Structure 1
Amino acid sequence: MDSPDPSDTIDPQTHTTTIPSSAGIPVGPRRRVRGARLDDRFNVLGAAAAGIAVAVLLFGWFTPLSGGVGWLLVAYLTFIGFYALLVSFASDWQEVKDRVMAVLLASAGVLLFGALVFVVAFTLVRGQEALPHLNFFTQSMELAGPLDGLDVGGIVHAILGTLMQISMALAVTIPLGIMTALFLNEVGGKFARFVRTISDAMTALPSIVAGLFVYSAIIVLITHQRSGFAAAMAITVMMLPIVIRASDIVLRLVAGNLREAAYALGSTRWRTVWHVVLPTARPGLATAVILGTARGIGETSPVLLTSGVTAVVNWNPFEGPMISLPLQVFDFIKSPEPNMIARGFGSAAVLILLVLALFAIARVIGGKGPGQLGRRQQQRVVAASARDLQRITVNGVRRARLHVPPSLPPSDLNAKETSS
């Protein structure tokens, strides 16, 4: 909440702030758009109970309608209407709109979070039959068939294939994507506008088209066989526009006065980029890499065209088929056998956990935002301040002992102390 101006008057009874205008006429109470009072919580609970009651009456007693999505929609719309009515009893129209909009935004957040939790929980529950088996993480499907139990076979070949493919894709995507974003922001020009247009258009590129492009350009013309390298290049085509676009937005948010201060101190453009722009945008660039990785690690159709399907571990990404986790999930789920379907959901759960692990690693590498120091950084700053204080104190004692003015440089001070 904004801090009140010293000229504002606060009513101790209603705890509202009246803002005087330039003519001395009160404009009205300061709007409170954040936080929730006790009566707001009761309004939410009362409106929720009314919405559920109306939906139950409408679908259970009055009309022979089926439940499901329709029941939830009627209950939610009724909840919004009753909430606006309850808020209007003690507030003006502007605050009613503020509160209703806050409820709508909070509902959207809860819906998205609930969908994410449902997907993760559903995958883990369906894959719980395969996940407890250690062989699921240490063996491949080389000696396991569709009718074998879950104590035989695993997905180590798919895990290694995913890690190798995404590592090769990141090795190409991170430097190329960030350098392209730096070119768009630090250099600019007509060609930069053309590159930005192309990168924006590539974000909507269908994944199957990227797979066909790599299949025609690499497999048909050069290698003549499917491989993990070809799959990595297809994943790179899908990741690159995401990283460029997200990095471009992050670099635009770097304050221009930081660049101007560096230029005023005599720094060159690329030293400013390396020592000022990139460290400031590092957390945002890590987020851009996370978005690109999340897009590439779950691709199936381009990998299906370029990597091939195999049941053994392939340590050479440049020769022979190399399967990945998304493709392995597809291969397991299409089987009618229950054990294969359980392996498919287990593979999907491992893929989710792998993405979360990569996300955590990227956040650690990205560090804190600009101006936010970690515990070790704070300790280094305190230690540097202590060293500076000690140096200043020692120099002050030396100057006082030698009766040297403060304007004398430290080098002349050392010479004078040696001669004396």
Structure 2
Amino acid sequence: MSTVIDKRPSTLRGARLPKWSPYAIAAGSAAVAIGVGTAADLASRVQWGLIAGLLFIISTYVIAARVEGRRQAKDRIATCLVWVAFLLAVVPLVSLIWVTVERGVKVLDVYFLTHSMGVVADTEVGGGIYAAIIGSLEQVGLATLIGAPIGVLTAIYLVEYGRGNLSRAITFFVDVMTGIPSIVAGLFILSLMLMWDMQPFGFAGSLALAILMMPVIVRSTEEMLKLVPNELREASLALGVPKWRTILKVVLPTSIGGITTGIMLAVARIAGETAPVLLLVFGNPFINNNPFEGAQASLPLYIYQQYANSAGSGAAYDRAWAASLTLIAFVMILNLVARGIARWKAPKTGR
């Protein structure tokens, strides 16, 4: 008795759109949107993009429903919505970077980075951001030295030791602090300064910035510590290693990459804050290398002051955009450094 094997292709799989169909539908939707925008005299390119996105979603559903069926068409619609949401997030970001680079490179040079405003008036050409760079580095650095250890240690307590009412109270207050406006932190430090009749100085701004960054560090570090498998902790404790040493030698090295990234995100969060600096530091056109005495400059405050005095044009306007580009580059460098540290300190796995 012989067995006959049917080698005919299976008919269970229905018709499928070709792989290039999304690109063709997107091109057609863009063409129709351009035609509609031109005919309706729509000046905003954003409106053209919204029309194209809507046409793309509708066309994808109609074509996929006729060829592949409604079930597969719904799946394609979900994919289209994800791509449209991605583009809606990326387009403003790319536009922001493009405009900042285009307007910021006009006066951004070595002279601009190595000179302060001094006696240069806002309407005059010249001056630079050297004093603002020094102030931002010192204020953000001091805030990190204060906020990072407190935030990491708080997260360690909540994950490794925290039980009962105290842990719940700390979690509640961390959640509350995550959402407080930056001006509130500035007012809190300002009230303490007024109690002791203190004048504005850079370290006061660092204290307010530390308050803003601590809840971000606590939350990010807490999530990273929770990702460490409990088996690693149990194996270390089973060998007789004390819990504090287990945390120091096992838990922290395993999660150091995520902790470092969280700290850098917190630094990026406070690097552009203007309100606390405006209240507590006041700004200074001259160089002040001592954050514990006298008013200091900072990049966010410099940008605000230059743009406020520019009336939308002139030398101050160009300096504001150049300082904005410098601040973006500063945050980008911090993130690159964080990625490098995370990769360097990540636990090595055997092959």
Structure 2 letter corresponding to 1:115: P
Deviation at 1:345? 0.5
User: Structure 2: 5+ residue runs without aligned partners?
Assistant: 1-6
Q: Distance in 1 between matches of 2:157 and 2:94?
A: 39
Contact 1:43 1:87 in 2 (8 A): no
Deviation at 1:55? 2.9
Q: Distance in 2 between matches of 1:312 and 1:183?
A: 43
Please give the per-residue CA displacement for 1:223-247, whole angstroms capped at 9, x wherever unaligned.
6110100000011111111111111
TM-score under structure 2 length normalisation: 0.89
Q: Tell me the secondary structure at the aligned position of residue 225 of structure 1.
A: coil
- CA distance 1:329–1:12, shift in 2 (3 Å): farther
Structure 2 letter corresponding to 1:220: L
Structure 1 letter corresponding to 2:33: A
TM-score under structure 1 length normalisation: 0.75
**After superposition, where does 1:334-373 map in structure 2 within 5 Å?**
334-336=308-310, 338-367=314-343
Q: Tell me the secondary structure at the aligned position of residue 295 of structure 2.
A: coil
**After superposition, where does 1:10-409 map in structure 2 within 5 Å?**
13=9, 39-40=18-19, 42-61=20-39, 67-132=44-109, 134-149=110-125, 152-189=126-163, 190-217=165-192, 219-222=193-196, 224-336=198-310, 338-367=314-343
Q: Which has the higher contact order (CA 8 A, sep 6+)?
A: 2
Q: Distance in 2 between matches of 1:79 and 1:202?
A: 42
Contact 1:43 1:86 in 2 (8 A): no
Match of 1:387 in 2: none
Please give the per-residue CA displacement for 1:43-87, whole angstroms capped at 9, x wherever unaligned.
2122213323443454444x6766543332222111011112233
Q: Distance in 2 between matches of 1:92 and 1:232?
A: 60
Contact 2:140 2:271 in 1 (8 A): yes
Larger Rg: 1
Q: Tell me the secondary structure at the aligned position of residue 317 of structure 2.
A: helix
Deviation at 1:111? 3.0
Q: Distance in 1 between matches of 2:177 and 2:205?
A: 18
Q: Distance in 1 between matches of 2:54 and 2:8?
A: 37
Contact 1:314 1:322 in 2 (8 A): yes
Q: Identity across aligned pairs (percent)? A: 34
- CA distance 1:253–1:326, shift in 2 (3 Å): same
Q: Distance in 2 between matches of 1:233 and 1:188?
A: 26
Contact 1:282 1:367 in 2 (8 A): no
Deviation at 1:156? 0.3
Please give the per-residue CA displacement for 1:111-163, whole angstroms capped at 9, x wherever unaligned.
3233222212211111111113x2211111113222432xx321100000000
- Cα RMSD of the aligned pairs, angstroms, is 2.5
